Structure 1
Amino acid sequence: MSNLEIRPRSGVAFTMNKGDLLTVIDPQGEQVADLVAYAQTDIREVISSGRTLDYASRLFLTTGDPLYSNRSKVMLTIVHDDVGRHDFLLTPCSEDTFRIIYGDTHPHQGCFGNLAEALRPFGIEPDNIPVAFNCFMHVAIDGKTGEISVQPPLSRAGEEIRFRAEMDLIIGLTACSALQSNNGSFKPIAYSVTPAEEVMVAEHAQA
C-alpha cells in the first residue's frame, strides 16, 4: 500500500478491519501523531489509556503490547516499533491547551479540534474523544516529584510504528499541532493501512 500524508496540524479518520495493519511513519523526524480508536460496532467502546497502562503495569509501551478499550478488550497490538518511546498519558492538544499553557490569544484548534472534525462523519462527538496514544511523543517523568515534561521526540526521519487491528475499528490520526511536542516545528505524518488479506499472503510467502 502506498503511504498517505497528513498535512501539518491536521487530522484524518478512517476505518480498519480486524487483522489490518496500520503503519504510522514520521517522514522528517521529531513529529508526534495522536491516535484514537473506536469499535465500529459501538462507538461507545473506545481506546483507554487507563485500562491499557493498568494492565501493562508500566508507562512506556512498545512491540508486543496490546492497547485496550474501556471495556477491557484488545483493540490494537503494537507489532513493530522503531522508536520505543511514545506517550499514553497526555490528552490531545486543544484551543484550551494553547490558551492555558502557552497563553495564546488566538489559539489553534489543536489535535482535539482536528480529531473532532475528522470523526464527526462517524457520529463521534467531541465529548467522546479520549486520551490518545501519542505516537513518537517523548514525555519524561521525574521519579521523585512526578513532574511531567515534554521532550523532543526520539523518532528519526522515516521511523515508524505499526499496529494490528484486533477488531473492526474507526481510527482518528493527526499530525500534532503543539510546538513543544514536536521540537519547535510542524511537520507531516505519513500512514498506510495494509488489508488483512495482504498480510496473510505475505506471511504465507515468508513461511
Structure 2
Amino acid sequence: MSAAAETERIAPCSARAFELERGDELVVIDPEGQQVSDLVAFSRDDLAEYLSSGRSIDYASKLWLSAGDQLYSNRSRPMFTIVEDSCGRHDFTLTPCSKDTFAIIYGETDGRPGCEGNLAQALAPYGIGVDRIPIAFNVFMHVSVDAETGTIAVLPPRSVPGDSIRLRAEMPLVVALTACSAGQSNNFRYKPIDFRIDRARSA
C-alpha cells in the first residue's frame, strides 16, 4: 500500500461519498466509541450493480461478517474483502434510518433526513436518488436476534474509541458512508465517524 493517507471526519448525522479503485483499502474508524456508520457501494462501471446484504449473508452463511469475509454485489461479484476488524460485530440486515423511521419508531415530527436522506444527498452527483439506497452494511451496529422468536433488538454498539474495520475494494467503486442519525444505533449520543483511504500502489 501507499504511504499513510489523511484521516477524514464525517460530522454527526451526515454522509460523504467518494470513489475507490480496485485494491484501495477503506478504513472506517469509530473515534469516540458506540457510533454506527452506514456503508453503501456501487460499481463505478455500472451503477445498477450495488452492495447486496442478501448475497453477502447468503454466501458467508452468517449474519455478522468480519475479517476474512467478502461483501458481494447483487450480481454475485465480490465488492469488498474485510481485511481487518477490531470490533467484530456489524449488522447487514436493517435498512438505513429515514424520516419515516424517526416518525414510526421515535415519534419525531421534525422530518430529519436520516442516513437514507444523507446518503442520497451525498450520492446525488452520481445520479443515485433515495429510491436506489439499498440496505447498508451497518459498520459497528449491534443487533441481537432471538433464536426462538426472531425478535430483533438494536443495542448499543460494542465499538470502543479507536475501533476500526479495513475493507479492500475488489472493483472500482462509488462508496458513501454516514455517521448514523438513529438514536438506538449510537446509544443516543450522536458522534462523528472517521475514515481513511489507503490507495493501492500504481503498477
TM-score, normalising length from structure 2? 0.96
**Paired position in structure 2 for 1:188:** 192
Per-residue CA shift, 1:2-29, capped at 9, x if unaligned?
Answer: 1000000000000000000000000000
C-alpha distance in 2 between matches for 1:39 and 1:126: 17
| Unpaired stretches in structure 2, ≥5 consecutive residues | none
Number of aligned residue pairs: give it. 199
CA-CA distance at 1:103 after TM superposition = 1.0
Q: Which of 76, 98, 105 is 2:102 aligned to?
A: 98
CA-CA distance at 1:107 after TM superposition = 2.9
CA-CA distance at 1:141 after TM superposition = 0.4
Per-residue CA shift, 1:141-193, capped at 9, x if unaligned?
Answer: 01111001000000000110010000000001000001111011100000000
Matched, 1:166 2:167: no
**Paired position in structure 1 for 2:55:** 51
Matched, 1:3 2:7: yes
| Equivalent residue letter for 2:118 | N
Query: 3-state DSSP class of the match of 1:37?
Result: strand
Overall identity of the aligned pairs, in %:
57
CA-CA distance at 1:30 after TM superposition = 0.2
**Paired position in structure 2 for 1:36:** 40
| Equivalent residue letter for 2:32 | Q
| Unpaired stretches in structure 1, ≥5 consecutive residues | 201-207
C-alpha distance in 1 between matches for 2:141 and 2:38: 9
Moved over 3 A (4+): none
Q: Which of 69, 73, 76 is 2:73 aligned to?
A: 69
TM-score, normalising length from structure 1? 0.95
Query: 3-state DSSP class of the match of 1:196?
Result: coil
**Paired position in structure 2 for 1:205:** none
